[in-house]
Structure 1
């Protein structure tokens, strides 16, 4: 049975609520440990004294300076991972598609393409402009993929949406390369940014995108009950008094804001929004009132862990977090595809 088909919840009593709360607290503890590990571990060894000294603002040694650079990087990984986890959960709920993900549906690539176009053709050099271009690209790409995936018999099936997203991603990736290749002045930075990563983060850039992220977060929280209604199917949701088009549009807007703002500052990072919701459903079921906070914490933990692993495996260099999440998410995506019983395209 699909996890998106509503069914009675035998754990809806108080005991299961307590269990969910305890599990969420446990995930928060894990996230806290990962935050500490992100500050302590990296391409350069640092001592505990240097960590505490850097947190107090003392930057007298190279190690303390390294810690000072890791702190905003850690904050960005937590914020970006949480945003991508939320966006993936919302997209899966809106489309009732277990394969939905900002990367698989091409939303991240669409946002990236628009940023590159703005950088190459319009001379953009402000992070605020990047965010607006990324949000516009994410919105147009999401609408295009959903429209293409809805054509034909059966409507927007999981496989059709995944194929439409893959084809759109491939096309936009080629267009992006075509835009970047003639521009040697931006080629190096654009290619590095397109891999997706959280290196070079600063609190200034995080603050600049925070209004968009907060707006996306607020919208997704408000639409949690609406996503539960959409999980019942459009006809039943409408029979319960839900405005299906408005609910789907509002939830989609929240996901697009989260994807666009995250892509603008980190580049396109894939598979976080695919892996995390499936993992979190093992603990909380399909109730989005619980699934959304679990996905936010789970996404933050996964991206932070991927960043730490990338720094440790490639010493004295490092692997971009987008590479590590792809190594984790690609096999998971294949497994999900094999599980789907799709009769026809």
Structure 2
């Protein structure tokens, strides 16, 4: 597939421009919505806070929401890029590893067993644990048997575990209406209602995931040539794949725990990045971080205006955007 940016200078300039766009998107997310604010008001909320409704909304709602959207979007995009490299499946995303389903099942199970005694922070950690355990289970199932891990085995294992976890989640929610009501807002995927305390608990894990992903970029480039070629060049394939799974757990698990199962970001953004810069993961990783952040911040901003004065959860907005994109990918692959 041809790509648009060939030289290092072109890629660097576009990446810097994308960072500028991200800053603009974050500022717009802070200032625009059901209530619009001036930029000076946002600055005053931190420089000379006076306890007014405007300052409270900016500090406690808009700024955390924009920050969460940026980190979650970038993390889901990188996780999707890594999973597509691991499974060699262009439609791979965190959901293929059962991340979403595992996190949802653990949260609903906790609500079913213990009732609404958990705070949001505690539910967030429960979701992170569920996502992590599910990803490890899929990795072990995909590595079992002769030949070790293969793209087909991982894909089938992920689909089976995700379907099983989703079925159990539905069963628990049918049995206990309270669990249904408590979990519904989280399950639909949203970046609203989070504060900086929630973000600061998860963001360090996401940043660590970004760093490890970039450190794996050279190995991912070799793996794209095939496992046999990578082995002949000295790559320890098993350890590289285990590292990929670890990063996916950190990024996708952390993102899902913080914002719920937001779909399609991990599918859309890696394809856009590869279209722009090709298959060099030393560039795909930083591009995915920035473009994923732009995408989710912009989607969250757009979702505020779709049904004003009500807000559409960002998970719905990304699904509306993502479905036509996936159809386009499938049609293009069918004609290759």
Q: C-alpha separation between the residues in 2 aligned to 1:231 and 1:156? A: 12
- In structure 2, the partner of 1:39 is 30
C-alpha displacement of 1:34: 0.2
Matched-pair contact (CA < 8 Å) for 1:115–1:264 = no
- In structure 1, the partner of 2:20 is 29
1:90 aligns with 2:68: no
Question: What pairs with 1:126-145 in structure 2 (closer than 5 Å)?
Answer: 126=122, 127-141=124-138, 144=141
C-alpha displacement of 1:186: 3.3
C-alpha displacement of 1:217: 2.1
Q: Deviation per CA, 1:226-247, whole angstroms, max 9, x where unpaired?
A: 1111100001000101111111
CA pair 147-179 structure 1, distance change in 2 beyond 3 A:
farther
CA pair 166-130 structure 1, distance change in 2 beyond 3 A:
closer
One of 150, 156, 159 as aligned partner of 2:151: 156
- In structure 1, the partner of 2:168 is 175
Q: C-alpha separation between the residues in 1 aligned to 2:151 and 2:320? A: 28
- In structure 2, the partner of 1:245 is 238
Q: Deviation per CA, 1:114-168, whole angstroms, max 9, x where unpaired?
A: 2322343367552444422332233324555x569x99xxx6359x93x775565
Q: C-alpha separation between the residues in 2 aligned to 1:184 and 1:203? A: 30
Matched-pair contact (CA < 8 Å) for 1:115–1:134 = no
Question: What pairs with 1:290-305 in structure 2 (closer than 5 Å)?
Answer: 290-305=283-298
Q: C-alpha separation between the residues in 2 aligned to 1:134 and 1:96? A: 22
- In structure 2, the partner of 1:215 is 208
TM-score normalised over the length of structure 2: 0.88
Q: Deviation per CA, 1:181-214, whole angstroms, max 9, x where unpaired?
A: 3334332220110000101111111111233223
C-alpha displacement of 1:325: 0.6
Q: Secondary structure at the match of 2:262?
A: coil
Q: Deviation per CA, 1:45-90, whole angstroms, max 9, x where unpaired?
A: 3234432222325244322222221001111001101110110111
RMSD, aligned α-carbons: 3.0
C-alpha displacement of 1:221: 1.8
Q: Secondary structure at the match of 1:268?
A: coil
Q: C-alpha separation between the residues in 2 aligned to 1:121 and 1:298? A: 40
Matched-pair contact (CA < 8 Å) for 1:111–1:138 = no
Q: Deviation per CA, 1:169-190, whole angstroms, max 9, x where unpaired?
A: 4443332121123334332220
More helix, by proportion: 2
Question: What pairs with 1:263-278 in structure 2 (closer than 5 Å)?
Answer: 263-278=256-271
Matched-pair contact (CA < 8 Å) for 1:124–1:130 = no
Pick which of 125-134 and 323-332 moved more. 125-134
- In structure 2, the partner of 1:6 is none
TM-score normalised over the length of structure 1: 0.85
Q: C-alpha separation between the residues in 2 aligned to 1:124 and 1:338? A: 45
Q: Deviation per CA, 1:258-303, whole angstroms, max 9, x where unpaired?
A: 1111111111111101000110112211000011000000110000
Q: Secondary structure at the match of 2:95?
A: coil
Alignment length, in residue pairs?
328
Q: C-alpha separation between the residues in 1 aligned to 2:41 and 2:289? A: 30
- In structure 1, the partner of 2:57 is 66
Unaligned runs of 5+ in 2: none
Pick which of 53-62 and 201-210 moved more. 53-62
Unaligned runs of 5+ in 1: 4-8
Pick which of 98-107 and 165-174 moved more. 165-174
